[in-house]
Amino acid sequence: MDTERYNRQLILKGFGEEAQQKLSKAKVLVIGAGGLGCPALQYLVASGVGKIGLVDGDVVSLSNLHRQLLFTTVDIGKLKVDIAAQRLNAINPNIKLETYSQFITQENALEIFSEYDFIIDGTDNFESRYLINDGCALLKKPLIFAAVSGYEGQLAVFNIESSGGEKTNYRDLFPIQPNKGEIPNCAENGILGVLPGIIGTMMAAEAIKLITGIGEPLINKILNYNLLNQQFYEIAITSSPSGTYKLPENENEFLKMNYSLKSTPNQVLEIDIKELENLQKKDSTLIIDVRETYEVPVLNPLDYKQIPMSVFQSFLNQDIEEENIVLLCQHGIRSLAAAEFLHEKYGDKKNIYSLKGGVIRWKNYFTSAS
């Protein structure tokens, strides 16, 4: 044991070498190297957790940097897991780091989860949250969950039985997934950079408490935090009545679960950048940017029309001559909603698309290619 490195923990009353040994033997998986995952990773590595896994298939973008402090400007366009591993190894080279440069899916989740004692969900979309929750419930893995938006954050611990014998999961809070676009994430609603730093650090604290047995983890309750008035409050979580939701009982059932967010009846085809490049070469293609006028980056070299979402309903009164219509926004969420509006008007008379991943993916594609 590196007693000098962990000295300030070792001398803590109620902690000592026994707790430090528990940390060194623990295996923690962090899903998502974003605003929540970055601070959680930094403190788990620094505290001496023996093995840490990191799952993320994304690359660093400029809009990440105000809250994801493992990354810098020179990292833009690079894989998050690669950069995170370099920085975390510099913090503590004694930790075993396992990286997975992929997104969590039904096909890989159970295999990855099985290698770890505790799971931290640092994702920011409902598909992943329900998938992670159900996988952890199936494997009986403790799950540390958090969510942030605007100026508020939430934190909870799931799949651990209380002294009274009750055990809850994310579906006891929200039994059914919301429809696509019903609840905005931080990419659409905005986030003050310091907020995920606070909540992500608290996720690490909950993991350390669970590993070492100190304190009282947030079992069967959710902690709510408001940054604007610095107020915390807890809400008890109770098990839902039987039949409220269904968790998969085996791997086969898990693989058959549908975690895709339900859209409105008209399904919009999401296209990638290569498909967009092919479409823009056609004469009868209209590209519409539904971002507000103040949003960056500017889309060079695309030929497009800017119709902000705030005035999009009035635009629907106009007739579009082009056969192909491509909608895009910052992250590909608002553009889906705009595309649905156009589908309601034109039905199958027009080919209507939404750019998957939005402008950020467009910019990263050309940055990495140059």
Q: Which residues are catalytic?
A: 186, 329
Q: What is the DSSP letter of 260?
A: S
C-alpha dist (Å) from residue 248 to 31, 68, 121, 139, 297: 21, 34, 19, 10, 42
Q: What is the C-alpha separation between 359 and 370, in angstroms, rounded?
A: 17
How buried is residue 139: exposed, middle or buried, by Cβ count under 10 Å (0-12/13-18/19+)?
middle
Give the integer Cα–Cα distance in Å for 61 and 366: 12
DSSP annotation of 164 reads T
Q: Work out whether strand 221-226 and strand 152-158 pair parallel, antiparallel, or are unpaired.
A: antiparallel
Q: How far is Cα 141 from Cα 116, in angstroms, rounded to an integer?
A: 8
What is the DSSP secondary-structure string of 278-336?
HHHTSTTEEEEE-S-TT-S----S---EE--GGGHHHHTTSPP--SEEEEE-SSSSHHH
* Cross-strand bridge partners of residue 226: 152, 231
H/E stretch holding 87 reads helix 80-91
Q: Taking the alpha carbons of 300, 303, 307, 309 in that order, is the dihedral positive or negative? A: negative
